[in-house]
């Protein structure tokens, strides 16, 4: 029997479109996605790839305001949209917005199963405020089930008393084929790509927002601690933008010898080249629900140096097999890891091959299958 599934989520993210497309292709689901906004211009400069969308969707009228570090998003028409969509089950991407609570109350009043798509983990720096934690607990207690990307998110829910049989893993994924093809194309035209993007012959790569919690200053400090001959052989490239960019540029200018480049924000079409020509991806984040740039880099055949608190760490990176894990805020450990990979290119190549092998199991269809399992099991239990 075909289930009418409505997903309520924040914005039309390029990361999510391939997942929703994969789910929409499943014959047992009639999918409709309700977006709270097209994009978030305060945090992201992503293009909105509407031409890639192969599923039914709508975007609600919204009002957004940045209040200090809090992102306030208010919507009109949540209840009307849900009534029109007439779901058999709802999957909600988070509990941070008023619309999420409206959807929860709407579903509960009609005895419609309500699933939470949760990526939170124990190391999430957003945790700790008493009122927020109380509201979160109330929200969790009202959900019929939970969809999570992997082990860290599962462990987080278990600490909140959620039973294992209510948790379903839908492996976090990106469009692996898109990035693999982009990387292969860049490697075929390596000289032209390096010239066009003004890239060093060898470099470590950071991709993400240039904000302190992503760890870019830790990475810059670790690079500065590499032996001088090593810094003459390998550079450091930052792809991304954010509020700390100018300070990062000023600190980078003091490093000599060495090559540090801040390339600015890149759309997904450009990312494949940066990944393809890099020595390794480094994400020394202090807190991250997952870290989808790790998926992208692995699809392009890169080894990864990853902070142990990133949600992806437990599932995607196996120590000394396809990458290295380092504690957050540990510049010395990061320097040691960078030195190891910089001095062993053969090890890097082997790790890159293992990354491709591992990430093949984290494709959009795997995510869709996890959601289908949650939908079918929850509906049968109601």
Condensed to tens digits (0 to 9), the pLDDT of residues 132-142 reads 788 889 999 99
Residue 293 placed within a domain: yes
Q: pTM for the complete prediction?
A: 0.95
Tell me: do 203 and 101 sit in the same domain.
no
Closest CA to 266 of 289, 246, 284, 293: 293
Tell me: do 68 and 121 sit in the same domain.
yes
- The mean pLDDT of 320-335, rounded to a whole number, is 98
Residue pair 36/99 in contact by the 8 Å Cβ criterion: yes
pLDDT above 90: residue 67: no
Residue 216 placed within a domain: yes
pLDDT digits (tens, 9 = 90+) for 186-218: 999 999 999 999 999 999 999 999 999 999 999
Instruction: Kindly report the number of other CB atoms within 10 A of residue 47's CB atom.
Output: 12
Tell me which of 35-44, 274-283, 310-319 is least confident. 35-44
Computed over every residue of the chain, the mean pLDDT equals 94
Residue 250 placed within a domain: yes
Residue 329 placed within a domain: yes
Q: Residue 235 contacts by C-beta under 8 Å, 6 or more apart in sequence? A: 199, 200, 202, 203, 204, 258, 259, 260, 261
Tell me what percent of the residues of the chain surpass a pLDDT of 90. Answer: 88
- The mean pLDDT of 209-236, rounded to a whole number, is 97
Tell me: do 139 and 39 sit in the same domain.
yes
pLDDT above 90: residue 47: no
Tell me: do 205 and 344 sit in the same domain.
yes
pLDDT above 70: residue 127: no
Tell me: do 307 and 368 sit in the same domain.
no
Tell me: do 371 and 341 sit in the same domain.
no
Q: What is the pLDDT of residue 117?
A: 97
Residue 103 placed within a domain: yes
Q: What is the pLDDT of residue 40?
A: 85
Tell me: do 77 and 137 sit in the same domain.
yes
Tell me: do 204 and 153 sit in the same domain.
no
Q: Which domain holds residue 133?
A: 3-171+363-376
Q: What is the pLDDT of residue 129?
A: 67
Residue 382 placed within a domain: no
Q: What is the CATH number of the domain that holds 194?
A: 3.40.50.2000
Residue 275 placed within a domain: yes
Tell me: do 184 and 331 sit in the same domain.
yes
Long-range contacts of 151-160, Cβ-Cβ distance < 8 Å, separation of 24 or more:
151/314, 151/315, 152/121, 152/122, 152/123, 152/311, 152/313, 152/314, 152/315, 153/118, 153/119, 153/120, 153/121, 153/289, 153/311, 155/121, 155/122, 156/118, 156/120, 156/121, 156/122, 156/124, 157/118, 159/122
Confidence of residue 96 (pLDDT cuts 50, 70, 90): confident
Residue 381 placed within a domain: no
Residue pair 326/284 in contact by the 8 Å Cβ criterion: yes
pLDDT digits (tens, 9 = 90+) for 77-95: 999 999 999 999 999 998 9
Tell me: do 105 and 78 sit in the same domain.
yes
Q: What is the total count of domains within the chain?
A: 2
Tell me: do 341 and 196 sit in the same domain.
yes
pLDDT digits (tens, 9 = 90+) for 109-118: 999 999 999 9
Tell me: do 57 and 206 sit in the same domain.
no
């Amino acid at each position: 029997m075909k289930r009418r599934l409505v997903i309520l989520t924040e914005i039309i993210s390029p990361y999510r479109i391939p997942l929703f497309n994969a789910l929409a292709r499943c014959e047992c689901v009639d999918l409709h996605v309700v977006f709270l906004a097209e994009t978030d211009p305060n945090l992201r400069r992503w293009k909105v790839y509407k031409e890639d969308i192969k599923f039914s969707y709508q975007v609600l009228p919204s009002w957004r305001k940045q209040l200090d570090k809090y992102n306030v998003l208010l919507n009109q028409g949540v209840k009307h949209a849900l009534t029109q969509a007439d779901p058999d089950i709802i999957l909600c991407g988070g509990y941070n917005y008023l619309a999420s609570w409206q959807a929860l109350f709407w579903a509960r009043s009609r005895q419609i199963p309500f699933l939470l798509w949760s990526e939170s983990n124990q190391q999430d720096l957003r945790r700790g405020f008493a009122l927020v934690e109380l509201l979160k607990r109330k929200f969790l207690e009202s959900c019929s089930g939970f969809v999570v990307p992997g082990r860290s998110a599962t462990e987080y829910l278990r600490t909140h008393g959620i039973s294992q049989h209510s948790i379903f893993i839908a492996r976090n994924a990106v469009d692996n084929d898109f990035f693999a093809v982009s990387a292969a194309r860049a490697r075929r035209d390596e000289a032209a790509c390096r010239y066009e993007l003004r890239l060093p012959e060898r470099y470590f790569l950071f991709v993400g927002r240039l904000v302190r919690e992503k760890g870019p200053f830790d990475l810059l400090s670790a690079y500065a601690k590499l032996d001088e001959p090593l810094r003459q052989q390998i550079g450091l490239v930052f792809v991304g933008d954010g509020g700390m960019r100018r300070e990062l540029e000023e600190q980078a200018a003091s490093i000599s010898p060495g090559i540090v480049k801040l390339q600015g924000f890149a759309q997904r079409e450009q990312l494949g080249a940066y990944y393809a020509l890099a020595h390794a991806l480094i994400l020394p984040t202090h807190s991250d629900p997952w870290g989808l740039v790790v998926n992208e880099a692995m699809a392009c055949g890169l080894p990864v140096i990853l902070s142990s608190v990133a949600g992806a760490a437990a599932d995607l990176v196996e120590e000394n097999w396809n990458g290295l894990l380092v504690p957050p805020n540990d510049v010395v450990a990061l320097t040691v890891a960078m030195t190891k990979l910089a001095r062993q290119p053969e090890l890097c190549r082997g790790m890159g091959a293992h990354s491709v092998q591992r990430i093949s199991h984290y494709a959009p269809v795997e995510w869709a299958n996890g959601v289908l399992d949650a939908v079918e099991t929850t509906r049968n239990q109601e």
